[in-house]
Amino acid sequence: MVETCIYIQYITDEVGKDIDMSDKNELFKQALELVIDGVALSESGAGRYIAGRYILTLLIADNPGLVDAEKIKAIQSIIAMADEQESPAFKL
């Protein structure tokens, strides 16, 4: 049990170790694109917007100081617009 905890802690410490700020910005941008695409393409129904905002809060918490409150509101608006669109996903 203790060995597992130590191993998990090691993984957590090593994951972001060699990422510089420009790489972190790019990764954050790609993650946002993935969230917005996921909301737009999802067929899960009414929960798309809520799930998209939840994942956004996780990204922001994992990347403190990367975006300010104004940008967060703009991103939330984009997620809302993605939710309003009918999914272009292929349907049988």
Work out whether the CA dihedral 80, 85, 90, 92 comes out positive or negative.
Answer: positive
Cβ-Cβ contacts under 8 Å for 51 (sequence gap 6 or more): 39, 42, 44
- The tens digit of pLDDT for each residue in 15-48 reads 455 556 678 889 999 999 999 999 988 887 778 8
Q: How confident is the model at residue 53 (pLDDT cuts 50, 70, 90)?
A: very high
Q: Which amino acid would we find at residue 72? A: I
CA distance linking residue 71 with residue 61, whole number of Å: 14
Q: Where is pLDDT greater, at 24 or 73?
A: 73
pLDDT at residue 21 in the model: 63
pTM value is 0.67
How far CA 36 is from CA of 5, 28, 39, 40, 67, in Å, comes to: 34, 12, 5, 6, 16
